[in-house]
């Protein structure tokens, strides 16, 4: 799994209140626009698109060849995004309490989200005969399974599909680069202000807006910090900071990610999937 590095060694309410499924889905999608008022006028990106954008080299248009974590990190982002949109949830706690990594992912609604990757994942979750855990779903969606009967659940070409979505949103462009024996499609950043906005948002969340309590953090910001760490792109977020602020930001983020996922998930139901994904990567 990834580790945080320092600059010196960089290398549900009552039944009567329950809304019909359609209304719940619409409300969950509206929450995406209301979760962070400061971003209401900016381009709306999914968590997966944000993680990929953070991982891309601006001019070169590709992620580091040494990053072997981003693929699984993006799959974890899909699960969190679906949970925040009210499409999936973890099975409820029973009398015999289960740990986060033992609880199954349940389909809450198969209403389309409008995002190709999210909707493809929803179809996979709906098609499974028996429910699977968060960790198992990350492995299945990444293709890291020894079961040949479950290879159909792998999401293919995720980075390229996300990059194309970012091209359509005017944030990336498409180029062809020659690497000696082969040509490779790359996606340099064309809208630098959007990436800077994202970086600044995360920097401020652990500096100017630091609350030292994940339950008081905006959910998507918390999720993005977890996913940036899991995808090994967190260094890119803080690299532009002065040394003293860099150390503060890394130490605070480390404190956040070192918290016990079981304890934090029990405090706020709306963040269970975020902490379950963190627990899955901590165990990897």
Q: Which residue has better confidence, 178 or 171?
A: 171
How much is the pLDDT for 10?
43
Residue 71's CB: how many other CB atoms inside 10 A? 18
How much is the pLDDT for 125?
97
Q: What pLDDT, in 10s, does the model give residues 75-131?
A: 999 999 999 999 999 999 875 778 999 999 999 999 999 999 999 999 999 999 899
Q: How confident is the model at residue 146 (pLDDT cuts 50, 70, 90)?
A: confident
Q: Which residue has better confidence, 14 or 220?
A: 220
Q: Is the model's pLDDT at 179 over the cut of 80?
A: no
How much is the pLDDT for 95?
58
The Cα–Cα gap between 12 and 276 comes to 19
What is the pTM (predicted TM-score) of this model? 0.86
Average pLDDT, the chain: 86
Q: What pLDDT, in 10s, does the model give residues 35-48?
A: 554 444 567 999 99
Q: Is the model's pLDDT at 273 over the cut of 90?
A: yes
Residue 48's alpha-carbon distances to 9, 44, 102, 181, in angstroms, are 28, 12, 24, 30
**Average pLDDT for 22-27:** 51
List strand residue ranges (DSSP E) for the chain, in order: 88-90, 105-107, 175-179, 182-186
């Amino acid at each position: 799994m990834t580790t945080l590095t320092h600059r010196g060694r960089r290398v549900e309410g009552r039944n009567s209140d329950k809304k019909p499924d359609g209304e719940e889905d619409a409300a969950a999608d509206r929450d995406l626009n209301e979760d962070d008022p400061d971003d209401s006028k900016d381009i709306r990106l999914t968590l997966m698109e944000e993680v990929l954008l953070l991982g891309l080299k601006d001019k070169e248009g590709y992620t580091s060849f040494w990053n072997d974590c981003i693929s699984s990190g993006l799959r974890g982002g899909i699960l969190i995004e679906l949970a925040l949109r009210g499409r999936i949830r973890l099975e409820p706690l029973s009398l015999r309490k289960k740990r986060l990594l033992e609880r199954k992912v349940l389909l809450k609604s198969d209403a389309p989200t409008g995002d190709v990757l999210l909707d493809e994942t929803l179809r996979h979750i709906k098609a499974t005969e028996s429910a699977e855990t968060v960790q198992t779903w990350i492995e299945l969606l990444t293709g890291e399974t020894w079961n040949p009967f479950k290879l159909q659940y792998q999401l293919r070409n995720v980075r390229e599909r996300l990059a194309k979505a970012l091209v359509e949103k005017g944030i990336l462009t498409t180029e062809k680069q020659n690497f000696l024996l082969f040509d490779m499609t790359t996606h340099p950043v064309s809208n630098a202000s959007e990436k800077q906005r994202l970086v600044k948002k995360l920097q401020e969340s652990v500096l100017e807006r630091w609350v030292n309590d994940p339950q008081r953090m905006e959910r998507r910001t918390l999720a993005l910090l977890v996913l940036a760490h899991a995808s090994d792109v967190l260094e890119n977020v803080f690299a532009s900071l002065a040394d003293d602020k860099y150390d503060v930001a890394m130490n605070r983020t480390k404190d956040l990610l070192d918290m016990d996922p079981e304890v934090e998930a029990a405090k706020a139901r709306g963040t269970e999937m975020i902490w379950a994904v963190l627990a899955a990567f901590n165990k990897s």
